[in-house]
Chain A
Amino acid sequence: MAHERVLVVGGGLAGLAATMRLAELGIDVDLVSLVPVKRSHSVCAQGGINSVNALTRQQGDSEWKHFDDTVYGGDFLQHQPPVKEMADWGPKIIDLMDRLGVPFNRTSEGFRDQRRFGGTLYKRTAFAGATTGQQLLYALDEQVRRWEVEGKVRKWEFWDFLAPVLDETGRCRGAVCQDLVTMEFRSFPAGAVVLATGGNGLIYGRSTMSMVCTGSAVSRAYQAGAWYGNGEFIQVHPTAIPGADKLRLMSESARGEGGRVWVPRKPQDPRDPRSIPESERSYFLEERYPKYGNLVPRDIATREIFDICTTEGLSVEQDRLCVYLDLTHIPRETLDRKLGGILEIYEKFQGVDPRVTPMKIFPAVHYSMGGLWVDYERSATGGLVEGSFRNQQTSIPGLYAIGECDYQYHGANRLGANSLLSCIFSGLFVAPTLANACGSGSRAAGDESRLFDQEVRRQEERHRSLLARTAGVENPYGLHQELGTLMTRVATVVRRNDQLVPAYDEVCRMAERWTRCAVSDTGNWTNQNVVFTKALGDMFPIAKLILKGALLRDECRGAHFKPAFAMPGLKATDPVGRRQEAEQWCDTFEANTRRWLKSTIATCGPGGDPEISYQDVDTSLIPPRPRLYGLVGADAIEEVWKERSARATDHAGRAAQPAGAGA
């Protein structure tokens, strides 16, 4: 079975983790990446990686609580077994990365240091300076380089994944890719193909994502028939540095280390922020969320910052939306030691020292919770069956997805420092699955080469027709800018149906205009122009499914916020009225859960238009409960909710196994 190769597309954390483990299992790997794998977008992750650890365990933490925080933070939209499995793997993944030489920060005793991140009350996050993602990626890059020297891995850097190749039974047999230097096409027959191609922030024009995050590979799989899940769930990071070419991330660790978010109480107070007295500052996150303070989950922080600038008009600047993120009360040495890297980024790109002057920040598109729908096989204990051919498999047999480009782990909202974990976990975990998939399907060699030839010809034709389009009138870069502006306006922090409907039509028109895009470079050597135009064309189907998913989902869940369907807090002040309102609130919540606690599944219809359906979510381990961060009357609602859950448990007559397991 081992003479079949596996094709890994994408060399970020997930792709490299899978490659390393595959090589270890004796499988030969072809690793295709748009950029040298060491330059993948994973390097941008700054803050850290979550896992239960010896310290938090003694404070009452457990894998179960990590799992619970993750599904609660994700508003219960993720299937629970994969998340449970991930949380269970957390400690050994951190240990592994530690063994691989990641320079995690240390305590004075020489153990790994941890910090607290959003959405939890425990110091669960291991970190390496302010470049944890970079450090983790490098450790895996080094191991893969080692396997490359051994001859188990062959890297194809500066190659673009164009399409999966499916046989007549619909099974994926490999892929066709293109060399971005010589522009040649090549078939990659493979026992299994795994996409680890990350997010699609470029659909939003500017985001915190890298320039390769176009989502094109995922889009191509989607157009070939793979289902896309939860597309409308796009995380907007609360704190980014506004820039002309990119919105650069300011890590959540800035708040984890004590950074405070505030605005002057007087709109656009022109004074130097340092001279504004405490009494004239509004630390609005701390005021509204006393328990979590500046470390509320990302969707809430984002909405609050957005809201204080737009609705309340308290933006720090007149002509640009932003709030202060203040670290100036923390000693310089502490900042340099714990946050040096990210503060340098601010200083480098803004020319201001954040140790002295509060930073100006604003939310930016950051992470795609949604992605290719993938399957899993549930084990008896509620986790996953390791090595099952179903794990991480897309709706196309033989085609797998891991990392940010799957929809599996983060539900409606991702917790900070969970993405690095999900990427490494899914990469490691999928490897035995892929190894088992190799050689599992019978095949006839002759037919196969015909399949690949066909696909190569189709791709060559697409390429040629693009190059021939010199008489077109549309500029791909201008069109991309329009798409980004539109998507950012209607499908980020706040969504309204009256905006989404026309926006969908507008994107359809843009997709149509794309067919008239002219390429200004008609050569056949390192033609970035045509590669970009191709990727742009593949953004439209995804943009459409994001918009349509958002339009159809008439509720608020995680990162998807529709004010028209928000569930307001309680108004009554007297105990009886509050009780009554709380009962009603819980009724509405239950009804909403029945209606909307479902995965959005998009399939690509004719013309790239999505067909949306819904799929039940496996919430068998932790029953959904309301997310009440900072809601008025949260106490009353919680009380009612607890009574109801207790009744439900009694009725069902089964012990609350999951809750007990965590104790």
Chain B
Amino acid sequence: MSGESPSFLERHQFLIYRLFSLAGFVPVGAFLIVHLLTNASILAGDGGRTFQSRVDMIHSLGPLLVPVEWAFIFLPMIFHAVVGFVIIANGLPNVGSYPYVSNLRYTLQRATGMIAFAFIIWHIWQLHALGKPFGGGRFDAHEAASSTAAVLGSTAVSILYCIGILSAVFHFANGLWTLGITWGLWTSPAAMRRANVVSIAVGVVLAAAGLGAVAGFRSLPADSASHGHAASAVHETLPPSSP
């Protein structure tokens, strides 16, 4: 029940929800695409050289990297997450009573959002420099492939990464479709169906890239350095066929 005067959040609900929707696409979604495709470069078959060069490119920002990360990744993501939790808290999923595909997607959108959020926290703790004070932060920009491979060496971690990546990808691809409705890009049922095909395609490509990267890191020889020799095994363990 609302009080006498609506809160800031209530007064600007439309704007906040639209920014929330937008943030999911750019920059958060865009970052997801870049991130997954960058990681997928581990599949180049050169033992991580391409991957390392991409990482180097990112890190060439030097001292600017931290503000850029915060401005374009962390803050938008936190905003998206916080508003997302408010939305989830106010919804009442009912897929049991109304087992329609789009309703299932509604429920999954919320579930994958929460999973992806938890995963990202964990992922940041584990690999990002921010995790260092808490015993994580194991990614080494100079040894990008091998430091990542070391973390993903654990099967349990890899499985959790696969779940996390798939959640994030579903959340993004499905979110892309709903974003189009929210903003009014596709309005007719037929247009929604066409947009759906595109969203599914985007999802499949990103899922392939994400899972492929996990497989790629895992197939790097444990002792192979980022500047080291290509591992011939890479080709034999290309990503599992697309989900």
A and B touch in the complex (CB under 8 A): no
Seen from chain A, the residues whose Cβ lies within 8 Å of a Cβ on chain B are none
